[in-house]
Chain A
């Protein structure tokens, strides 16, 4: 099957994704990832520290851990879909960051992404595929932030890689 033999044009893929996102918007709400990841964090924390999680107000007031939170399953689905695509196209193989500096950058980057998502209540997906197309004021504020952040991050990236 050609679909699994050569790369799909990103423009076609994104237009199809947008059409599915409109369906999701009509059924439950636009595509988002950060909310599901936060709920996973809460569930993982609860599994590790047990009822002590109730002593942290954030998990009591903002995100009480709940397996029935539908946004979790978008991420689980993305993992499954990507695994399926990679396996069927022969592109699945274990790969590791090549240098210590790469591990450090990924660690810092991951931490910043987690803190940023929770501070903003939104992630990049909500910004580009939810809030801004809904013409939500938060979309424009988030766009300003993410473009400035990506520019600043790119300058750091450029300096570290030395080009």
Chain B
């Protein structure tokens, strides 16, 4: 697909997401923060449902060699990076989605959060240019590398390749785990009523 075609698809997709998130007041930060602090699972339930649909959808297409999976090595930097991100999103009261959506609603705090997210990224670019860690995509091998705290690359497609078992089988297992969490939340809600 051409660059313009890809950008157009991305814009249409983003517009639908922006509209649906704005109308539903969904917030990824609240899905975690409200569950931890207030035992309110409104957003958590929605997030779990989306993950269930996506797990089945993605792994079904991966089974038949379809779809564009994300390909890069992973390791310690994902745990540390998302830990830092998790603290930040709770403090800012918004994540990557809600900063854009709230900006569209005229929330100046969200615009401020976006601005400082960009500044944070630029600061990191300077730090990276000194440390060269985590490895740049061109230096990734797909294999574990203890020296750079990297575990390599693995997903439903590599699982299928290595075991000969269709990816959808693993997807169904993950779906059941997510469903189990969802049902546990429902049970908790009912016992409160």
Contacts and interface: CB of A to CB of B under 8 A. Distances in A.
Interface footprint category on A: 35 or more
Contacts of B125: 41-42, 45, 56, 58-59, 62-63, 118
| Chief secondary structure at chain B's binding surface | helix
A70 B19 contact: no
Contacts of A77: 10-18
A49 to B, nearest CB: 10
A149 B54 contact: no
B186 to A, nearest CB: 12
A137 B86 contact: no
A70 B3 contact: yes
A101 B91 CA distance: 10
B9 A149 contact: no
| Chief secondary structure at chain A's binding surface | helix
Contact of A91 (B62, B79, B105, B155): B105
B164 interface: no
Contacts of A94: 106, 108
Interface string A77-91: 111111111100101
17 contacts: A10-B25, A13-B46, A15-B50, A20-B17, A30-B68, A61-B138, A74-B13, A95-B106, A109-B89, A116-B120, A133-B59, A142-B82, A145-B85, A146-B85, A149-B87, A150-B89, A153-B91
Interface of B: 1, 3, 6-26, 28-29, 32-33, 36-37, 42-43, 45-47, 49-51, 53-55, 57-59, 61-62, 66-70, 72, 74-97, 100-109, 112-126, 128-129, 132, 134, 136-138, 151-156, 159, 167, 170-171, 174
Given A15-B50, A77-B17, 7 more contacts: A26-B61, A59-B125, A80-B18, A125-B95, A125-B96, A137-B154, A154-B33
Interface of A: 3-4, 7-34, 37-38, 40-42, 44-45, 56-59, 61-63, 68, 70-86, 89, 91-97, 102-103, 105-138, 141-154, 156-158
